[in-house]
Amino acid sequence: MDFSSFLTSLGTSFFIFVVLMLLFAWLSSKPGNSVIYYPNRILKGLESIEGGSKTRNPFSWIHEALSSSEEDVISISGVDTAVYFVFLSTVLGILVLAGVVLLPVLLPVAVTDDNGKLSANSTTSNGTFGELDKLSMGNIKEKSHRLWAFLIAVYWVSFVTYYLLWKAYNHVSGLRAAALTSPEIKAEQFAVLVRDIPPVPEGQTRKEQVDSYFKTIYPETFYRSMVVTKNKEVNKIWGELEGFKKKLAHAEAVYAESKAKGKPEGERPTNRTGFLGLIGKKVDSIEYYNEKINELIPKLESEQKVTLKEKQQASALIFFTSRATAASAAQTLHARMVDTWTVMDAPESRQLIWNNLTIKFFERQIRQYVVYIVVALTIMFFMIPIGIISAFTTLANLKKYLPFLKPVVNIEAIRTVLEAYLPQIALIVFLAMLPKFLLFLSKTEGIPSESHAIRAASGKYFYFSVFNVFIGVTVGGTLFSTFKTIEKHPNSIVDVLATSLPGSATFFLTYVALKFFVGYGLELSRIVPLIIYHLKRKYLCKTEAELKEAWAPGDLSYGTRVPGDLLIITIVLCYSVIAPIIIPFGVLYFGLGWLILRNQALKVYVPSYESNGRMWPHMHTRIIAALLLFQVTMFGFIGVKKFYYAPILIPLPIMSLIFAFVCRKKFYRFFCSTALEVACRELKETPNMEHIFRSYIPPSLSSEKLDDDQYEDALSQISRSASSV
């Protein structure tokens, strides 16, 4: 990619961004779209636009985002979202502080030197370096004393990172403490999850076993237990029932509409009973669904009874009347065999993964290691296709290996666009395939809570990204030329990385720009959800519930967002000293990101769980990992320049490791378990334990027909009757 195609790419991205912003300003002011642009506010029962005035400035969202406080974010979108903004602003701070010093110092130092070897050496490595190269460290002569400036810059960036990360960890720890201290009653703070319960002794039910065990240990604060059951069957029936209920409502709405429109007696909707409603007998929908529902209700009830009675598993939720007891119980060893009665914090009821609750202790261990191996293999073997793709998708290579494309490619316009976007698009599409697979793997580990599984998947995704995108593209961009070197000297991989870094700088510049202009433009304008919503509204949705489902905004999806951001910060950090011109791009990425996501968090997305900032330690560790990678490559890169003082950089990676160690020791345990000084604060009111208990009953097991008292009795009676069997 030469300089002009770089500018083209930048220009195109910016143009798309501006168009999307204008679209957003126009579309968001239409009242009919407010469910797309303000769903979170609507669901919270707030007015869609603050102040509610109709003739508002189309750019007032910027002011609203900037003036919103952290408390607003916490109250509207939860602690996890607030922590995400701490992450964004910390990274932004690092880049701004780095840029303020590096840009005015390093750029003049680089541009006024003139590396004679340049055209003969660095640039030919992949032939894509143009005017930008003058602004980078590649322009410095070997052994030049100007390298001192770059060396000190590495120290500056590192210290800025340490300082801001430390402050941020402290701050996030405070946020978490405030959330856990809050006098609001949160059901999960009163419960623990106990797994690996030993076999039921003769003459006892599971429930009696669990109750008597915990009553002995916590005679005063034990409230009640809920034995985990195998819900596969009952879930299936319940799912079918709910499906038919929705279809019935839909059919009734269609019927009512047809009455209102044409014939006064209406047209009764019909459907076919066979596969996907395409084949089979044609029946009257309303009758058919009513019939099905009436069939399923007793089936569900009997299955509920069978499940509660016979499908009890070796796992339970225990409820305490005190937060402090629950916090302490989750951290304490209960049985002398560590693989029995394992107790942990109960996740929120909405993020419990019921199927994983019954997996046994050592099976969990084995699953974990198997998953680690699978992930490692995935990371290794994806490296090959990515390397090949990025090596192929330079135009020169395309023409060389696929000569039949030559006529198409030689058209100037197509050529420029292709050159600008081809490798980046390949990369983005490629990465979009992965998260689902990694989340699936993480759930397979046996993790009992959704948020934990997402954290685990996001960690895997980060390591995948760094290894494959960053290292793969960097080394892969010069893969064909350097493959023989690596083959001969396998130890020289750091050298290869260091020498090929500058060559990939423009690739990453374009990648970052594409991500923030087009990515954030799409994010803010919500073009895709808007179109889907309007299509659904027009052609599919008939009932209120269907409509609500159509505009349901989903959550911020940290699982993929955070690793993406971390990849950007890794790239920007690694290039920050080599080619400081990347820093403004990074600043724009995180600055725009902060602004646009602030708007989205306040107005659009609805968090689907709350983990009270447990994501932070992972973000923190991974920023340090990025910093380490930066420090090591800088050591290699300055070494390649034959600078004798390069070893002055050696203390830096060691300092990073110590910093990581100290942070982990000082802060981490509080992110795994609740500190008692936090949990022992007083509550606003006496907790309604029955309400807390009930919130953990899965919907498929809570019965509509039985009223509250009956249900409670049923659960207890079943235990009692089971003991008499």
Interface residues toward its own copies, by CB under 8 A: 173, 176-177, 213, 216-217, 220, 324, 327-329, 331-339, 341, 361-362, 365, 662, 665-670, 673-678, 680
Given the complex with its own copies, which of 327 and 582 has the nearer CB atom? 327
> What letter would DSSP give residue 352?
B
Nearer Cβ to its own copies (139/656): 656
* Residue with tokens 């708007």, as numbered in its chain: 599
Cβ closer to its own copies: 135 or 177? 177
Q: How far is the CB of 357 from its own copies (least distance, A)?
A: 19
264 and 302 in contact (C-beta within 8 Å)? no
Is 447 in contact with 456 (CB distance < 8 Å)? yes
Q: Kindly give the residue spans of alpha helices, DSSP state H, lying in 577-666.
A: 582-603, 616-640, 651-663
- Residue 280 tokens read as 């089979």
C-beta pairs of 181-184 under 8 Å, 24+ apart in sequence: 181/678, 181/681, 183/681, 183/682, 183/683, 183/684, 184/684
Query: Which CB sits closer to its own copies, 322 or 424?
Result: 322
Q: Which residue lies nearer to its own copies by CB, 117 or 681?
A: 681
Q: Least separation, in Å, of the C-beta of 680 and its own copies?
A: 5
Nearest approach in angstroms of CB 687 to its own copies is: 17
State which residue, 324 or 532, has the beta carbon closest to its own copies. 324
Quick check: 188 and 310 in contact, CB under 8 A? no
Q: Which is nearer to its own copies, 213 or 319 (CB)?
A: 213
Nearer to its own copies, 446 or 503 (CB): 446
Question: Closest approach of Cβ 328 to its own copies, in Å?
Answer: 5
At closest approach, how far in Å is the CB of 337 from its own copies?
A: 6
Closer to its own copies at the Cβ: 335 or 486? Answer: 335
The one-letter amino acid at 558:
Y
Q: State in angstroms the smallest separation of the CB of 332 from its own copies.
A: 5
Contact 583/572 with Cβ under 8 angstroms? Answer: yes
Closer to its own copies by CB, 132 or 346: give it.
346
CB of 91 to its own copies, least distance (A): 24
User: Which CB, 328 or 599, lies closer to its own copies?
Assistant: 328
CA–CA separation, 122 and 118 (whole Å): 6
Least CB distance to its own copies at residue 673 (A): 5
Tokens of 615: 């994501």
Sequence length of the chain is 725
Amino acid at 347: P
Instruction: Provide the 10 A C-beta neighbour count for residue 519.
Output: 19
How far apart, in whole angstroms, are the C-alpha atoms of residue 706 and residue 490?
Answer: 71
Q: What is the DSSP string of 192-232?
A: EEEE-PPPPPTT--HHHHHHHHHHHH-TTTEEEEEEEE--H
**CA separation for the pair 170, 488 (Å, rounded):** 48
**Least separation, in Å, of the C-beta of 366 and its own copies?**
10
Distance CA 97, CA 100 (A): 5
**CA atoms lying within 13 Å on the CB side of residue 539:** 6
Q: Percent helix, strand, coil in the chain (nearest 5)? A: 70, 5, 25
In the complex, the smallest distance separating the C-beta of residue 343 from its own copies, rounded to whole angstroms, is: 9
CB of 676 to its own copies, least distance (A): 5
Query: 503 or 613, CB closer to its own copies?
Result: 613
Place of tokens 């009764």: 268
Minimum distance from residue 217 beta carbon to its own copies (Å)? 5
**Of residues 692, 583, 629, 473, the one with CA closest to residue 136:** 583
CB of 613 to its own copies, least distance (A): 12
Q: Least distance (Å) from its own copies to the CB of residue 184?
A: 18
Nearest to its own copies of 327, 604 (CB atom): 327
DSSP state of 469: I
First to last CA, the chain: 77
| Eight-state DSSP code of residue 346 | P
Q: 359, 361, 311: which is closest to 335 by C-alpha? A: 361
**Residue 464 identity:** F
> Please, which residue, 154 or 191, has the CB nearer to its own copies?
191
Handedness of CA 447, 452, 456, 457 (dihedral sign): positive
Q: Which two tokens stand for residue 209?
A: 């076993």
Burial 528-542 (b: 16+ CB within 10 A, else e): ebbeebeeeeeeebb
- Closer to its own copies by Cβ: residue 210 or 469: 210
Structure tokens at 522: 């799409």
**Between vectors from CA 568 to CA 12 and to CA 90, what angle results, nearest 5°?**
120
* Residue 20 near residue 524 (C-beta atoms within 8 A): yes
Find the shortest distance in angstroms from Cβ 198 to its own copies.
11
In the bound state with its own copies, the residue whose beta carbon lies nearer, of 220 and 265, is 220
Q: Least CB distance from residue 662 to its own copies, whole Å?
A: 7
In 3D space, the residue among 379, 641, 392 whose CA is nearest the CA of residue 498 turns out to be 641
The set of residues, in sequence order, having a beta carbon less than 8 Å from that of 428 and lying 6+ positions away, is 514
Partners of residue 449 on adjacent β-strands: 352
